[in-house]
Structure 1
Amino acid sequence: AIRDEQMHPYWAAFGYACVRVDMRGCGESDGLLIDEYLQQELEDAVEVIGWLAQQDWCSGKVGMMGKSWGGFNSLQVAALRPAALKAIITVCSTDDRYADDIHYRGGALLTENFSWASTMSCYMAKAPDPLLLPETWREHWLERLQNMPLLARNWLEHTYKDAYWKHGSINENYSALKAAVYCVGGWGDAYSVAIPRIIQGLPGPKKALIGPWAHKYPNFASPKPEVDFLAEAKRWWDYWLKDINNGIMDEAVIAAYIQDAVPPQASYEQRPGLWVEGNQWPLQSQTLKFNLSSDRKLTKSKTAGKVSLKSPLTTGSASGEYCVIWCGPDFPTDQRQDDANSLSFDTEPLESQISILGASELKVRVTSDQDCGQIIVRLCDVSPNGSSKRISYGVLNLAMRNGLDCPKLVVAGEVMNVSIKLDDTGYQIPVGHRLRLAVSSAYFPLIWPAPKKAKLTLDLASSCLTIPCHDRSATLVRDLGQGYVCPVKKTKKIRPEKHDRVIQTDARDGLV
C-alpha cells in the first residue's frame, strides 16, 4: 500500500522490520470477512504477533500500529495480552464501538452507518491481486462475492450498547491492557473524544498527541500544522522495543492543541493555534458555568421558566460530514441557518478571550410530547459579523438518557433529567465574539430523524452549561518537528483527485 511505503522505510532504516498483514477475506489473504472486529480477527492478529516474535530476526518484542480500523485493532489486540506485544500506537480510533464509531452517536443512528456499509461493500468486492495469486485469485474472489454480508443490517440489529458492541470496546476493562499505549488523533476527527477518555481510563503507561487534524496520520495531515510523526513513533518504539532510555516517558503525558478562532468554512489548509501539555485530562480544573435564560441569553444567574422547540427536519444542513476522512469540503459550514432553526442562547460580546480545552456539558430537565425524541446541543463561536462557527456538539437519543447500554422508553409528558456531553476540543474564542449554545431536536443529515417529530420543552431553572477552560500556560516544551513522508518511487495517477459535497434545497417545499 502507498501509505505503508510512505512510512515503513523510515523505521526500517533504523533496524525495524515492518510487517503489513491483510485480514481474512482482504487483499491476498484467504478466508472471509464477515463483520468488523470479530474474535477470529483478533485471534489472527495474536497468532501473527506470536509468529513474528519467533523469527530469528526478531528480538522477541513486537509493536503494533494502525489508523482507524487498524487503531481499533491495536487496542483490541493489546487487551488480549499477547506476550510479545510491548507497545502500540493507535491513531484515530476509539475505545467504545457504540458510543463513538461510525454507526451511532449518543444512541441516535448516524446516516454514516449506511455510507460506511456501502464503502465496505466496495472494499470487500475487490479481487486479490492476480500478480500475487496467479493460480487462486479468481477462486478467492468468487468466494468473497458469494458470501458478502449486508453489514448495515448487522449494525441496525443492535440499537443500543449490547454485548455485540461491548465486544472490542476496551473501555469495558481498561486494566486488561498491559502494553504501553500512544493515542494520536485530532480535533477535526470524529474519534477525538476517545483519546481523553482512554487517557483517563488506562492504568498503565500511556501518552497522547491531539492536534487539529481530521482522520489522517499527522505527518501528512489536514489541516496543518503537520508534525514529524515518523520520528515521534520511532522514539516510542526505541523506548519500548529496544530499551533505549530516550526520555519520552519523562515528558508530559498529553500534548494538545488549542485552535485559534477561524471563520466557518468547509475545509481548512491550516489551523493556527497553541500546543500545551499536561499529565491528566482535563489539563486544568478551571471551568465556566452558564445558565439558560428565557430571553435567550447565557447568564450566570438562574432563570425560571420553560421554552419549547420543534426543529425543522432540515436542521443540520450545515453539520458537515460525521467523519472527515477524505479531507474534501466536509467540515461544518456557517451555522446561522441551523442556529435559526434551534433555540439559541448567547453571551454578551466577550471582554476577555476564552480558551476551551476539554468537554463541555449541558444538564437540563426535558419533556417530550411524543414517546421519542432526540436532543442536539452545539457550542458555537459567533463573530461580530454574525457568522457562527461550530466549536463542538453533542447528541442524545432521549431513550438512552440513563446510559447507552440501558435504554428506557420515553413517556410523553414525563420529565427527564438529561446530561449531554459535547465532544472534547481545544478552541480559543476572541474578545468581542459571542459564545452561543444552540439546542435542536433534529440534525439531519448527520443523524437519522426520530420516528416522530417531537416537541421538546426545557426547564430553564434546571439548566447548567459547564465549559472547561485553559489559561494558555504550560505550553509544549518539546519540538514536534515538521511532517515527513518517505518518497514513493513508483505510482500511476489514474484520474485527478476530486471531492464534492453539495446540499440542495427545493424552493417549493423546503426539502433538503
Structure 2
Amino acid sequence: MKKRITEVLGIDVLPNYWDKRYVKNLDKLSRPKYEVELHEDVWMTLRDGVRLCVDVYLPKGAGPVPSLVSWSAYSKEMQGIKRGAIPPESLLFDHSLEAGDIEYFVQRGYAFIIPDPRGIGKSEGVFYGVYNPQEHLDIYDMIEWAAEQEWCDSNVGMVGYSYFGICQILAAAQQPPHLKCIMPCSFVDDYYQHGYYGGVPSTYMSIYWELCPSNNPMPWSVKMYGEEKVKEMMKERLQDPDIAVNSYFTKILTTWPPTYHTFYLDYLLHPLDDEYWQQRSANQMYDKVKTPVYLHCAWSPLGRWSSPIFAAMNDDRLQAPKRLGVLEGYDGLELPYRALNEECLRWYDHWLKGVDTGIMDEPPYKFCVINSGTRYENEWPLARTEWQKLYLRSFNRLRWDKEPDKDLPPDGFTHLPPSISTEVNKIVYKSSRFAQAKEITGPIELHLWASIDAEDANFVCSLFDVLPDGTRMPLLRYGALRASHPLNEEKSTIGSPVHDNSVSIPVTPGEVREYVIEMSPTAMVIPAGHWIELEITSQCPNECHTESWTGKVGNMNVIPTNTTTAYKIYRDNNHPSYLLLPIIPYTDPEQWVQPFENWDEIEVED
C-alpha cells in the first residue's frame, strides 16, 4: 500500500534544508513503528570499579539495534520529562534539557542511553567538573558497554546539544572501537575561550553549579596539584581586586573543603589558558579523531558558539569524514531539543544503519543565510569574499571611506566599577542606511585603535542590525578582548585573529595601540533601508543588573574590573579603526538548497 512520504516518516513536512538533488532513499529512512520501553536505573561498571546508574530506552520488540549515547552531568532523570517543548521565555525553561528527542529516535529503531556520570545523581564516584579528562575515559567505557549489550547491534553513535555535543569530540579522540559517528550540536573547540572569550572573564560558567546535581564534587585542580597547592592558589586569587570585591567569589575562594561550587572554583583558579583548559579542548586532539563527524551550531547572538565549528572544519588535523551545518537561529530554540531531528536521522541512518541517505554527497558546508535562504559552500571563508572595511569616523559614524584627516581628538567613555555605580557607559557608531541589500557572510574582526589609563581592561563589542524604525535586532555579532592578551600575528588569519591567552602583559597606560578583536562569524543579508550599529563597552548591560535584587552574579556575564578606567577610541587617518566585513558579491543559483516541491504528493510503499 502506498502512503505519502510525510505520513510514513511520521512528520508533518519535509525540512526546507533538504535538497531534492541530494536526499536519497526517503523510503528507507527509519520510520516510527516501535513503542518506547524504559529500563530505568541499570547499573554498569567503569574500568576502575566505579558504578554508573543508567537509563536505557529501547524500541520494544526490535531486537538488536544501533545505540545512541547521550552524555552530560545534567542528570538523566529529567531528560525524559513529559511536558512538551519549552521556549526560553517560559519560567520552566531549563537549558540542561539537551539530550535530544528520545522518543523520536527510539520509535525509529534506536536504543537511547543516558547515564548519570560519576558523582552525579545516583552514580558512584567523584565529580571533577565538566569535560574533565576522567570523563573522556568514562564515555569510552559507556560506549563499549552499550555495544556489548544484547539489545545493541554493536553500532554506537553519540547525540545531543551543548554539553551533550561538546563531549563528543573528546570521547571520539579516545577512539572507542564501536563509536561509528558523532553529531555535536553547539560545539566548543577551545574551552578556555568558552569561559574567557578573548581572555575576558565572565560568570557564564557559574550556571554549572545548579545544572550538575553532584553528590560528591571535587575541583579538578585538587587532583592536579594537591590540597596544599590549591589552598595557596585560592589565597593568591583573592589578591586580584576584580575578584576580591565580589562576595560571591569570596565565598567560593574561602570555603574548605572546596566542595562549594567546585567547577567555578577551578574556573577562578585558571584565569589564563593552561593545561587545565587544554585538557578539555577539542582542538588539542583533532589528530586522534577518526570517527565521522557532523558539526552543527546556530548563528548564536552571544558568546563564541559559531567560530568553533568553522575552525574545526578548517583544521587539517581533523581528517575524519566531516560535514558542517548551521540550519537555524537561536530565535526558535525550544527544549527538549528537536530542531534537527530529521537531519540527525539522515546522519545516523547513514553511518549506523547503512542507508545511503545522500548526506555525504552534499558539499561540506550547509548553512542558512539570515533573511535569505539555505545554501551550500565548499570552503570558509568563501573564496569569492570581498573584504571591505567599514571605518569608525567622528560624530559616531561608520563609513566605507577612511577619514582623510590625521591627529583628530579621540572619542571615549569611562568604565565605572559596579562597586561605585550602576552606570554602564558605552560608545555607539552608526552606518548610513543601506541603499541596497548587502550580504555579510564569513568571519568578522574589529581593528580598534585605543588607549586606556590602566594596565588592563575589557573590550566588549556588539554589532547590531537596525530596522528602519530604529528597532535593534538581536545581536548580529559579539566579540571580546582582554587588553593585556597580545595578538599572535603568525597564527592569525584574515577575519580570525588569534591571541596568546597564556600570558597577561600589562598595558602601558595612555599608550595608543591597535587591538584586533574577533567578532563571531555570521551569514546574513542586511536589507535595504537597514543600518549597522557597533557598540563598544567594558561590561554587559542587563536589566537584571538593576531590577533584580537576588542572584545578580548569574546575570553579570563579563566580570567588570574594579578600576575606574578611561577609554579613548581613535579613528583618524593615522589611526584607522574599522570593521573588516566579508561581503559576498554574488552566489551561483545552483548553490542554494532546492527543497522538495509538492512533497506531500510523494508516495512510497509502506
TM over 0.5: yes
Task: Report SS of the residue matched to 2:300.
Answer: coil
Q: Hey, what's the Cα distance between the residues in 2 that align with 1:215 and 1:170?
A: 27
CA distance in 2 between counterparts of 1:231 and 1:441 reads: 42
Alignment of 1:315-334 (within 5 A): none
Question: Which segments of 5 or more consecutive residues in structure 1 lack a partner in the other structure?
Answer: 127-144, 261-272, 316-336, 483-512
State whether structure 2 residue 412 is matched by structure 1 residue 309: yes
1:381 to 445, 465, 475: 465
Distance 1:164 1:479, change over 3 A: farther
Is 1:476 the counterpart of 2:567 in the alignment?
no
Shift of 1:433: 1.8
1:158 is matched by which residue type in structure 2? H
Take 1:178 and 1:214, find their aligned partners in 2: how far apart are those partners? 30
SS state of the match for residue 406, structure 1? coil
Asked whether 1:211 is paired with 2:211, we answer no
Output the CA distance in 2 between the equivalents of 1:365 and 1:146. 43
Aligned-pair distance for 1:65?
1.7
Aligned partner of 2:509 among 393, 408, 412: 412
- Partner of 1:33 in structure 2? 127
AA of the residue aligned to 2:412? L
Aligned counterpart for 2:478 among listed residues 373, 378, 393: 393
- Is the aligned partner of 1:106 residue 2:206? no
Q: Residues 450 and 408 from structure 1, CA distance in 2 versus in 1: closer, same or farther, beyond 3 angstroms?
A: same
Native 8 Å contact 1:306 1:458 kept in 2:
no
Shift of 1:78: 0.9
**Identity level (%):** 26
CA pair 192-480 structure 1, distance change in 2 beyond 3 A: farther
Task: Select which of 528, 541, 553 maps to 1:431.
Answer: 528
Change (3 A) 1:466 1:257: same
Change (3 A) 1:279 1:410: same
Match of 2:287?
A: 175
SS in 1 for 2:576: strand
Is the alpha carbon distance of 1:93 and 1:310 closer, same or farther for their aligned partners in structure 2, counting shifts above 3 Å?
same
Give the residue type in structure 1 aligned to 2:154. Answer: G
Q: Can you give the 5+ residue segments of structure 2 that lack an aligned partner in the other structure? A: 1-76, 82-99, 217-256, 488-498, 542-555, 600-606
Asked whether the equivalents of residues 68 and 91 of structure 1 are also in contact (C-alpha less than 8 Å), the reply is yes
Single out whichever of 390-399 and 406-415 deviates more from structure 2: 406-415
**2:113 is paired with a residue of what secondary structure?**
coil
* Mapped partners of 1:156, 1:399: distance in 2: 18
Note the 1:89-104 alignment, pairs <5 A. Answer: 89-100=183-194, 103-104=195-196
Question: Counterpart of 2:210?
Answer: 119
Q: 1:150 to 1:13 in 2, by over 3 A?
A: closer
- Asked if the contact 2:119/2:215 (under 8 Å) is kept, the reply is no
Instruction: Give the deviation of 1:66 after TM superposition.
Output: 2.2
Match of 2:377 among 278, 282, 285: 278
**Aligned match of 2:344:** 233
Deviations 1:228-275 (A, max 9, x none): x22322221222223332211001222212223xxxxxxxxxxxx522
Aligned residue pairs: how many? Answer: 421
Deviations 1:378-427 (A, max 9, x none): 21223333333331121111112332233222221234332111112233
Alpha carbons 2:413, 2:427 under 8 Å: kept: no
State how far apart, in whole Å, the 2-side matches of 1:149 and 1:363 are: 38
Amino acid corresponding to residue 81 of structure 1 in structure 2: Q
Q: Quick one: which amino acid aligns to residue 212 of structure 1?
A: E
Does structure 2 conserve the Cα–Cα contact (< 8 Å) formed by 1:182 and 1:208? Answer: yes
Secondary structure at the aligned position of 2:535 is classed as strand
Displacement after TM superposition at 1:479 (Å): 5.8
C-alpha contact 2:183 2:295 (8 A) present in aligned 1: yes
RMSD: 3.2
1:335-393 Cα offsets, whole Å, 9 max, x none, are: xx98xx43322222211012222221111332211111111222122333333333112
1:6-55 alpha-carbon deviations (Å, 9 max, x no partner) = 73333334432222222011233211212121211111111122222333
Find the partner of 1:164 among 276, 282, 285: 276
User: Counterpart of 2:442 in structure 1: which amino acid?
Assistant: G
In structure 2, the residue corresponding to 1:194 is in which secondary structure? Answer: helix
Residues of 2 paired with 1:480 and 1:438: CA distance?
43
> How far does the alpha carbon of each residue in 1:454-510 deviate from its partner, in whole angstroms, 9 at most, with x for none?
22223322323111234465222356999xxxxxxxxxxxxxxxxxxxxxxxxxxxx
Shift of 1:435: 1.7
Measure the CA separation in 1 of the matches of 2:314 and 2:284.
13
| Alpha-carbon distance in 2 for matches of 1:406, 1:479 | 53
Specify the alignment match of 2:439 in structure 1.
355
Aligned residue in 2 for 1:293: 393
For structure 1, which segment, 391-400 or 410-419, has the greater mean C-alpha deviation from structure 2 after superposition? 410-419
**Equivalent residue in structure 2 for 1:64, among 138, 158, 173:** 158
Correspondence for 1:325: none
Distance change >3 Å, CA 75–CA 4, structure 1 → 2: farther
CA contact (8 A) 1:208 1:254 kept: yes
Q: Please tell me whether Structure 1 or Structure 2 has the larger radius of gyration of its CA atoms.
A: 2
CA contact (8 A) 1:91 1:217 kept: no
One-letter code of the match for 1:124?
S
Q: Secondary structure at the match of 1:61?
A: strand
Secondary structure, counterpart of 1:246 in structure 2: coil
Relative to structure 1, is the Cα distance of residues 104 and 198 closer, same or farther in structure 2, using a 3 angstrom cutoff? same
Q: Compute the displacement of 1:159 (Å).
A: 0.5
SS in structure 1 of the partner of residue 577 of structure 2: strand
Q: Which amino acid aligns with 2:472?
A: S
Shift in alpha-carbon separation, 1:146–1:421, aligned structure 2, 3 A: closer
Cα pair 2:121 2:215 within 8 Å, conserved:
no
Partners of 2:456 and 2:484 within 8 A in 1: yes
Task: Give the Å deviation of 1:157.
Answer: 0.5
Aligned equivalent of 1:371, options 444, 449, 455 = 455
Amino acid corresponding to residue 410 of structure 1 in structure 2:
V
Q: 1:118 to 1:27 in 2, by over 3 A?
A: closer
Question: How far apart are the structure 2 equivalents of 1:65 and 1:215?
Answer: 22
Which residue in 2 is equivalent to 1:332?
Answer: none
- Quote the offset at 1:56 in angstroms: 4.5
Quickly say closer, same or farther: Cα 1:83–1:415, change in 2 above 3 A. farther
Matches of 2:138 and 2:332, distance apart in 1: 26
- The amino acid across from 1:281 in the alignment is W
The TM-score normalised by the length of structure 1 is 0.74
Give the match's secondary structure for 2:469. Answer: coil
Supply the AA of the counterpart residue of 1:447: V
The whole-number CA distance in structure 2 between the counterparts of 1:117 and 1:86 is: 30
CA 1:481–1:219 in 2, change beyond 3 Å: closer, same or farther? farther
CA change 1:213–1:119 in 2 (3 A) is farther
Residues 372, 452 of structure 1: 8 Å contact kept: no
TM-score (norm 2): 0.63
Question: Structure 1 residues 457 and 149, CA, compared in 2 at 3 Å: closer, same or farther?
Answer: closer
What are the Cα deviations for residues 298-355 of structure 1, in whole angstroms up to 9, with x where unaligned? 223322335232245499xxxxxxxxxxxxxxxxxxxxx98xx433222222110122
Equivalent residues in 2 for 1:495-510, closer than 5 Å: none
1:188 & 1:314 partners in 2: Cα distance? 28
Contact 2:116 2:123 in 1 (8 A): yes
The 8 Å contact of residues 258 and 356 in structure 1, kept in 2 or not, is answered as no
1:85 aligns with 2:201: no
Three-state SS of the structure 1 residue aligned to 2:138 is helix
Aligned residue number for residue 139 of structure 2:
45
Name 2:365's counterpart in structure 1: 254
Q: Is the 8 A contact 2:129 2:262 kept in 1?
A: no
